[in-house]
Structure 1
Amino acid sequence: MAALALVPVGLGVLLRHPPLVLVGALGVAFAAYARGDAAPDLDVTIERDLSDPTPDPGDEVTVTLRIRNEGDGVLPDLRAVDGVPPALATDDPARLGTALRPGRTATFSYRVTAIRGAHEWDPVHVLARNPSGSRERDARIDAEGATTLRCAPELEATASLPLRGLTTVYSGRVPTDVGGAGIEFHSTREYRHGDPAKRVNWARYARTGELSTLEFREERAATVVVCIDAREEAYLAPDPESPNAVERSVEAAAQAVPALLDSGDRVGVAAFAPGDCRLDPGVGDGHAARARELLATHPSLAPTPSDERFLPTTWVRRFRRWLPADAQVLFCTPLPDDYAATVARRLDAYGHAVTVISPDPTADDTPGHRLAGIERANRVSRLRSAGIRVIDWGEESLATELERADARWSR
């Protein structure tokens, strides 16, 4: 290009035509500029800092990025876009545009709203252009420092969970039809040697002279598995600003687990979803901590649907083999389709007392949404007709819905 630009210069000199010489000189200058204006070397380091790497759900976290030019040349046009996890909402732009001299650092910050789960940042996309913008280099660079935000739901029992009569041999709080030690009177029987004196029917002995023993209704512990419907079909919400039904189901589980453990029940957790998400029933503070970690970080309960293939019939078969014979099931599902109701009925038919907590994700703003609400209401009605308890969880707190359901079932 420079050689071609010299042709009009030579002709202009020979012909003594200054404008032709000027045109050639401009061509030579432009060719020299383009040749010398190469893409800049992209030699930068990046640090990322989170104001709180383990926030509570709903907390705002400030993310700060520092980009340092480690090269010898100026970066006249440097642009960077942080790899924000898709589940984290941010109102601030997670990007920077600046010029950066050698050895200098540029800093920018943005805020994200924490949501349950383990969220990992992708590498930072960095692009550098020459002054004319004709050449550029780009790269994806891993940031040093914090790359993961962990947000775990707080296990907080807000209300007692009404359980059905399937129990274990251990003492607890579920009334049974078995006579023995307890509070509520059950029956009387003949006195046996070794019976506690406090259970002898002394009133009858005073009347008849015969010894008999009072039997009370035993209260035993239950084994409960909290199962969360986290299939793609369950990620429903009445509007874009509301939490989806899977998030609400995890919230219900986070309240159910400590309530059951505090009552002396053995508690397990599972997900009706792709992947192997199970926690064997257990008790104690260590078990509660494991349940909290599973609810917070297991991929099967991610804030967004899984891309893995899911075979529901295979899942039900494996779940039945894993489920203890004396276990009740607390099934948290929005009942998005008939198959969810079928799973509840099938488990109940196999001898596992099923209670459904169903967060309502429906809306009534369009005919299609109203139809979906009617179909879901029909599923709730059919389950109740089959003898399965359903807590239809609307806009009120779960504690309020549980108290209302307990009063209804106690009549």
Structure 2
Amino acid sequence: MGYRARLAVAAGMTAAFVSIGIVVHDGRVLGLAIPYLVYFTWIVLSHPGKAEVEIRRKIHPARVPVGEEIEVVLTAENHGPDITSFGLEEVLPDGVTAADGETSALAPLPTGGRIEVSYTIRPSRGEYEFPPVVVKRWGRFSSAPQVERIEIPSSLLVFPRPEPLEEIVIRPRRTLVYSGTVKANVGGAGIDFFGCRHYVPGDDVRRINWRAYARSGRLVVNEYEQERIADVNVILDARARAHHCSPTADTFEAAVHAAASLATHFLAQGNRVGLLIYGDILDWTYPGFGRTQRERILDSLAAAALGDKAVFEDLRYIPTRLFPSRSQLVVVSPLAGEEDVETLGLLRTRGYQVILVTPDPLDRWREANTGKTDAASLQLAARIIRL
């Protein structure tokens, strides 16, 4: 029962017995009002009163890669009357635990005073919203606290950490007009020899092939293969049926980190990169360039989760209309069966160049069991599982 309800009950019972006692002129009835009057007085004196406490939460930093520590500071500052005892308790989001420090505090809070709770967390990949803060206040004569839950909107984003990759050669059938690192299969200015053609007035004389001229008597110039940027779209398979998820073999997390590394790699080469997460929904990050696009893709991957909707059960439902024709597709998937392999073949027949990146659950299993089992047993187990 709340403060107002208890106060109303005590006042009502006191008034009722006093009124009846006066009407019947009986002191014994008036005496029955005394306990309720005492209870009413205790309620008034024990109530902590109206709070004027400002509560702030600071998360630094609020956007981090996996593995980084995050410092959270929760502060309560009293702008009102003294509070005999004040409790401040942080409720962490699901899946987040404190690595160091305390998440609660209990102390007197005088006028102008402040209480601070500081702790560090190291959460896994994901998007987190902090629940309301639990505040408890005790009055001078109260035995039970007044509990409030105060909403302080705070969010935290933990994205996969991209890893540096060695050079990945892509040869899409279509490139963009800007200079880059992708072989365009078109003659012009470049580094690698592409072919020869007849001299045209205005050509650079340094490109004339004098040996060919000596043999044919005609001026011939060398052409080099142009290097341009390309459209690259990374497709992350987020279907639950395609992934083996267990404490020792989580292929989905490996796939998410691979997608982050691949997208970062192709963006660093100057390409236009997009991301499609194929799972519960079609989470599409429109293609773009540079650092801003990298942040968009990493933010999308931070919130990526497995899905099991029947409409997206097969890879053949990938909406190819989102991708420019004859562009480069990079599919990150363990593949769920032969029908997925057929889908990749169909994408190639439509003019796309396809790179398949497959996370290996055995590699994850071996990493988790290294040191627990001898190498020969690990190799034998891997062979049996592959069979």
Into which bin does the TM-score normalised by the smaller protein fall? 0.5 to 0.7
Q: Distance in 1 between matches of 2:279 and 2:264?
A: 23
**1:272-287 alignment runs, 5 A limit:** 272-282=278-288, 287=289
Any idea what SS the aligned residue of 1:59 has? coil
Deviation at 1:117, TM superposition (A): 5.4
State, as a whole percentage, how many aligned pairs show the same letter.
27
Residue of structure 2 aligned with 1:90, choices 95, 98, 110? 98
Q: Distance in 1 between matches of 2:212 and 2:138?
A: 99
Matching residue of 1:391: none
Structure 2 unaligned spans of 5+: 1-9, 15-33, 370-378
Q: Residues 141 and 117 (structure 1 numbering): CA distance in 2 closer, same or farther, change over 3 Å?
A: same
Residue of structure 2 aligned with 1:289, choices 288, 291, 295? 291
User: Is contact 2:186-2:226 (8 Å) kept?
Assistant: yes
TM-score, normalised to structure 1, is 0.63
Q: Does 1:48 align with 2:48?
A: no
Q: Distance in 1 between matches of 2:198 and 2:58?
A: 73
Q: Distance in 2 between matches of 1:131 and 1:58?
A: 46
Matching residue of 2:326: 326
Deviation at 1:124, TM superposition (A): 0.8
Residue of structure 2 aligned with 1:162, choices 141, 166, 169? 169
Matching residue of 1:112: 121
**1:211-222 alignment runs, 5 A limit:** 211-222=219-230
Q: Distance in 2 between matches of 1:65 and 1:296?
A: 28
Matching residue of 2:25: none
User: Is contact 2:240-2:308 (8 Å) kept?
Assistant: no
Q: Residues 153 and 346 (structure 1 numbering): CA distance in 2 closer, same or farther, change over 3 Å?
A: same
Letter in 1 for 2:354: V
Any idea what SS the aligned residue of 2:319 has? helix
- Name the count of aligned residue pairs: 340
Q: Does 1:256 align with 2:262?
A: yes
**1:7-46 alignment runs, 5 A limit:** 36=42, 43=51, 44-46=53-55
Letter in 2 for 1:201: N
Matching residue of 1:6: none
Letter in 2 for 1:45: E
Matching residue of 2:348: 348
Q: Does 1:228 align with 2:230?
A: no
User: Is contact 2:245-2:252 (8 Å) kept?
Assistant: no
Q: Does 1:265 align with 2:271?
A: yes
Query: Residues 284-305 of structure 1, C-alpha deviation per residue, up to 9 Å, x if partnerless?
Result: xxx323322223333xx34573
Q: Distance in 1 between matches of 2:161 and 2:128?
A: 17
Any idea what SS the aligned residue of 2:351 has? coil
Query: Residues 43-98 of structure 1, C-alpha deviation per residue, up to 9 Å, x if partnerless?
Result: 3432222343344442212212223456657455x544323233544234753252
Letter in 2 for 1:198: R
Deviation at 1:154, TM superposition (A): 6.7
Residue of structure 2 aligned with 1:173, choices 177, 181, 185? 181
Any idea what SS the aligned residue of 1:204 has? helix
Letter in 2 for 1:107: E
Any idea what SS the aligned residue of 1:46 has? strand
User: Is contact 1:51-1:63 (8 Å) kept?
Assistant: yes
Matching residue of 1:9: none
Any idea what SS the aligned residue of 1:325 has? coil
Any idea what SS the aligned residue of 2:98 has? coil
User: Is contact 1:363-1:373 (8 Å) kept?
Assistant: no
Q: Does 1:149 align with 2:156?
A: yes
Q: Residues 294 and 33 (structure 1 numbering): CA distance in 2 closer, same or farther, change over 3 Å?
A: same
Deviation at 1:160, TM superposition (A): 1.9
Q: Distance in 1 between matches of 2:270 and 2:316?
A: 27
Matching residue of 2:359: 359
Letter in 1 for 2:272: R
Q: Distance in 2 between matches of 1:75 and 1:373?
A: 64
Any idea what SS the aligned residue of 2:295 has? helix
Q: Distance in 2 between matches of 1:68 and 1:117?
A: 31
Q: Residues 107 and 173 (structure 1 numbering): CA distance in 2 closer, same or farther, change over 3 Å?
A: closer
Deviation at 1:224, TM superposition (A): 0.9
TM-score, normalised to structure 2, is 0.66
Between 1:191-200 and 1:59-68, the stretch displaced more is 191-200
User: Is contact 1:66-1:108 (8 Å) kept?
Assistant: yes
Query: Residues 362-410 of structure 1, C-alpha deviation per residue, up to 9 Å, x if partnerless?
Result: 52689xxx9x9889968xxxxxxxxxxxxxxxxxxxxxxxxxxxxxxxx
Q: Residues 265 and 140 (structure 1 numbering): CA distance in 2 closer, same or farther, change over 3 Å?
A: same
Letter in 2 for 1:90: A
User: Is contact 1:182-1:219 (8 Å) kept?
Assistant: yes
